[in-house]
Structures are given as structure tokens and as C-alpha cells.
Structure 1
């Protein structure tokens, strides 16, 4: 179970890296990058699966408040990316900044909240 959780963690972090990297690269020409939707969905799904694996395997007791905060932020990022893909005319530099900022907040919550 530990190996599965670690593999999901790697995929989770790669998903967030795709979102953050893609958004930062396209800040000058505001548009949602091609991989941002896939990265956000990958991060969202692998995060949910990680919690399930931890709960199933009794690896440790997860902090459910932290998980709830991360889930809300991940849903917000995913929603912003989906809206940006469907309505590209709404995408501005500030819009991309919100996606990048929320992505950094999600990673910071994971790393700093014990």
C-alpha cells in the first residue's frame, strides 16, 4: 500500500506541476494551456485516490480538515481551468494568476500543514 500511495503522490505532484508550469508559461499571451485541464484532473483524481489508499491500508490517520481544504482548493482550480477552456475570451492574466496562486496554495498546504 505504501508503494501505491507513493506512486499516486508522484502523479499528483506531476499534475500540479503541469498546471503551474503551463499557466506560468502562457501569462504573456493569456490562454489556458493545452495540458492544464489534464493536469488539474490528474491532480484531483490522484489526490482522492491517495486518501482512499491511506484509509484502506491503515498507513496513518490522515488529517481530514487538511484534506478538505486541499479538496476545495483543487476543485476551485479545476473549475477555473474548465471555465477557461470553455470560454477562452474570459481568460486574462489575472485569471491565470488566480489559477497559479491557488495551485501554489494547494502545494503549500500539503507541505506546511502538519
Structure 2
């Protein structure tokens, strides 16, 4: 089971990298008002969702305690990110505030994951 958990964590980190990387690569375009959500951002968010749910399931199946409040908040933030990216994925230009909100929520999710113990 340790190998499965490590693979899921690695895939979760890859998903967060795709989401955050997609945001960072569009920051210059955001300043010009031409930013858009890339497919990598959508796929990264979906990867995070699937691997996060799988990680919680595997941990609970092994009898480990899971902080359900933390997981619930992270899930809610991710669903908002996923919803925004999914709905606006085909638009040529995304409002700066909306694009910045996705980046801020992504960073918030990272800080919740790493700092909340």
C-alpha cells in the first residue's frame, strides 16, 4: 500500500504543478488582458481531484485518521477552481480578477495542504 500511496501523492503533485504552471505561464498575458485557461490547468485540476479522493480512500482503508475538515475545505476550494476553469475554458480572454482568483485559490490550496497539520 505504501507504493500506491507514494504513486498517488506523486500524481497529485504533478496535477498541482500543471494547474499552477498553467497559471504562471499566463501571468504576462494576464497583465495584457489576454490570459486564458489552458487545457493543462483543467487536466491538472482533474488529476488533483481524482488522486486526492483516492488518497483519502486509501488512507481510510488502512485505518489512518484523516482530518475531514481539512480535506473538506481543500475539496471545496478545488471544486471552485475546477468549476471556473471548466466553464471558462473555451473563452479567448479571461477577466483578470477571475484568472487571479484561480491562481490565488490554487496557492491557498497548496498552503492548506502543507501548513495545516
Answer whether TM exceeds 0.5 for this pair: yes
1:72 matched to 2:76: yes
Question: How far apart are the structure 2 equivalents of 1:98 and 1:16?
Answer: 16
- State the Cα distance separating 1:23 from its structure 2 match: 1.3
- State the Cα distance separating 1:93 from its structure 2 match: 2.1
**Residue of structure 2 equivalent to 1:110:** 113
How many residues align structurally?
A: 112
1:19 matched to 2:23: no
- State the Cα distance separating 1:89 from its structure 2 match: 5.1
**Residue of structure 2 equivalent to 1:94:** 97
Question: How far apart are the structure 1 equivalents of 2:13 and 2:99?
Answer: 19
Q: Secondary structure at the match of 1:35?
A: helix
Q: Which runs of 5+ in 1 are unaligned?
A: none
After the TM superposition, list the runs of 4 or more consecutive aligned residues in structure 1 that deviate by more than 2 angstroms. none
Give the alignment's TM-score, normalised by structure 2.
0.89
Q: Secondary structure at the match of 1:85?
A: coil
Q: Which of these residues, 54, 58, 63, is aligned with residue 49 of structure 1?
A: 54
Contact 2:36 2:93 in 1 (8 A): no
Give the alignment's TM-score, normalised by structure 1.
0.91
Q: Deviations over 1:15-54 (max 9, x none)?
A: 0111111112113131111211111100011000000000
